Structure 1
Amino acid sequence: MRKTLFALAALALAGAAQAQSATYAIDPTHTFVTFEAKHFNFGFSTNRGRFDKKEGTITIDPTAKTGKVEVTIDMGSINTGTAAFDKHLKGPDFFNAEVHPSAKFVGEQFAFDGEKIVSVGGTLTMLGKTLPVTLKADSYGCFMHPMIKRQVCAGDFSTTIKRSQWGMDKMTAFLPDDIRLVIQVEGVKQP
């Protein structure tokens, strides 16, 4: 009897732990991947752009303090608001979108403060090269969405990378190597 009660308690605890883990599908209409780079090395103004097509999932277990995020970005969807600039950035001098049509971030090193995510470490694969990147959570939280009646987790994450590390080293003599990435993400809890 005692063994049976112990086994039932263990199963209940295992079920409770599994119930804490949830998977969220990234909402592409509320998720934006943007970049910022100083205009030339003088630093007086900032060029900005975004990638309009992205997809992915996030799995979070705040009890176990674990998670996994996978975000794929369509490099051909770059949008700076200027067609000629977009064409140049898609070309071989920068993103080489014809040869490398996507970039992917995979993160499994979640840092929490209570139930809030403070950073996600992982790898960014771009231009065929995979390197470590840590995204800092500038804000993060979950809420019950009043319109779709499902839990949504959202946040703003940022990091600064050196483009030359991925082989994007054209024009570094007069164009900055440091690129700031800002990811505004919103994920909808899946059943």
Structure 2
Amino acid sequence: MRFSLLSVAAAATLLAGATQVQAANYAIDPAHTFVTFEIGHFGTSTNRGRFDKKEGTVQFDRAAKTGKVEIVIDTASINTGTAPFNKHLQSAELFDSAKFPTATFAADKFSFSGDKVSEVSGTLTLLGKTQPVTLKANNFNCYDSPMVKREVCGGDFETTIDRTQFGMNYGIDWGFPKNVRLLIQIETIKQ
């Protein structure tokens, strides 16, 4: 009886170790990762911009359907294609890049539909305030890249945030919307 219990305990330990081994670390591929935003402009058109500098890591275990994400965005790298608009977005009225040089998305809850990631839930820290955010996956896949000779995982994610929850209130009194659509195209390379 003692031998059986020891065998079961040893097998359980080996299985637990095998599950941990399947988790892998991935680095954000900046050439295939873009963080963009869209916000209405007086009900006539849509202002769009992106952040050119971002970095981060992902821990992902497809078998256990778990993971962790951290993406750090350089708020001064905002790019709308118009230099004066970029300067205004970087100003204290909006992103206040001098005081808050980064925004961070951190998540540790992955939801799946079959074997594909369907949502990633965590928090967004912007202007020194942290709020819960769930990114919905519109697309997700992992593949063996012929270019980098490693596994690559990624997808297209989106969410809508209420910017006033972070204290970004500029233009609200003039009728600018408080809701901002965030689109995140991300690819990560297994390390």
User: TM-score normalised to the size of structure 1?
Assistant: 0.93
- Once the 2 structures are TM-superposed, how far is the Cα of residue 162 of structure 1 from its aligned partner? 1.0
- The residue type equivalent to 2:51 in the other structure is F
Q: Is the counterpart of residue 34 in structure 1 residue 50 in structure 2?
A: no
Partner residue in 2 for 1:80: 80
- The one-letter amino acid paired with 1:100 is F
Distance 2:185 2:169 in 1: 27
Q: Give distance in 1, aligned partners of 2:166 and 2:9.
A: 51
1:116 equivalent in structure 2: 116
The one-letter code matched in structure 1 to 2:156 is: D
2:12 aligned partner, one-letter code? A
Deviation at 1:8, TM superposition (A): 4.2
Superposed, 1:1-191 pairs within 5 Å as: 1-3=3-5, 5-40=7-42, 42=43, 44-173=44-173, 174-190=175-191
Supply the distance in 2 between the matched residues of 1:11 and 1:159 (Cα, whole angstroms).
40
Q: What's the C-alpha RMSD, in Å, of the aligned pairs?
A: 1.3
CA shift for structure 1 position 23: 1.2
**Bigger mean CA offset, 14-23 vs 90-99:** 14-23
Q: Secondary structure at the match of 1:181?
A: strand
Q: Give me the whole-angstrom Cα distance separating, in 2, the residues matched to 1:4 and 1:130.
A: 47
Deviation of residue 29 (structure 1)? 1.2
**What is the letter of the counterpart of residue 48 of structure 1?**
R
Please, which runs of 5 or more residues in structure 1 have no aligned partner? none
User: How many correspondences in the alignment?
Assistant: 188
The C-alpha deviation readout for 1:76-101, integer Å capped at 9, x for no partner, is 00000000000000001100000000
What is the deviation of 1:65?
2.1
- Partners of 1:11 and 1:148 in 2: how far apart? 35
Shift of residue 55, structure 1, vs aligned partner? 0.5
Mapped partners of 1:106, 1:2: distance in 2:
43
**CA deviation after TM superposition for structure 1 residue 153, in Å:** 0.1
SS at match of 1:63: coil
Unaligned runs of at least 5 residues, structure 2:
none
Aligned-pair identity (%)? 56
| Matching residue's letter, 2:34 | F
The TM-score with structure 2 as length reference comes to 0.93
